[in-house]
Structure 1
Amino acid sequence: MVTEVNAVNFRQNLGEMLNQVQYRNDSIVINKDGKPVAALVDAELFARIRRMRDRFNALSQRIAEAYAEVPSEEGLAEIDSLVNQERAV
């Protein structure tokens, strides 16, 4: 479950919110001036997010290296073509 709280409420109830995250695997979005500024998630989820980010960055780097010599217009045209093929399925 995802709970949204304002920063003042978060500060006042930090212990309870840590328990929510640790024992119920909830996530908490902390808002300031009505806008989300941070999230509190359990350590296992955070580790998974970091691994996914690292894999995404590595994959992005491999793609950038593979297309380094391809002109931008040609690469974008290839991407558009593949997206259109997938949408047609």
Structure 2
Amino acid sequence: MIAEVSAVQFRQKLGEMLNQVQYRNDSIVISKDGKPVAALVDAELFTRIRRMRDRFDALSSRIAQAYAGVPEEQGLAEIDSLVAAERAR
């Protein structure tokens, strides 16, 4: 479950929310002035998110290197075409 709380509520109920995350695998979005500013997730999910981000960054870097010197519009059109072809398979 994903709950949303204000920063004030979060400060007041930190212990309870840590238990929710640790034992129920809930996630909590913390808002300030009505806008989400942070999230509290269990450590396992956080580790998975970091690994995914690292893999995404590595892939983005490889794509940027492969398309260095190619005009942006041409590169994006080629990538879109390849993605569409792969999804059609």
- Normalized against structure 1, the TM-score is what? 0.87
Unaligned runs of 5+ in 1: none
Matched AA of 2:25: N
Distance 2:20 2:68 in 1: 47
Is 1:46 aligned with 2:52? no
Distance 1:10 1:31 in 2: 9
Aligned to 2:71: 71
Distance 1:73 1:20 in 2: 47
Distance 1:7 1:39 in 2: 11
Aligned to 1:36: 36
Unaligned runs of 5+ in 2: none
Distance 1:21 1:6 in 2: 16
Compute the displacement of 1:12 (Å).
0.4
Distance 1:64 1:51 in 2: 20
Aligned to 1:20: 20
Alignment coverage as a number of residue pairs: 89
Identity %: 82
Give the match's secondary structure for 1:50: helix
Cα root mean square deviation, aligned: 1.8
Is 1:56 aligned with 2:60? no
Give the match's secondary structure for 1:78: helix
Distance 1:36 1:63 in 2: 31
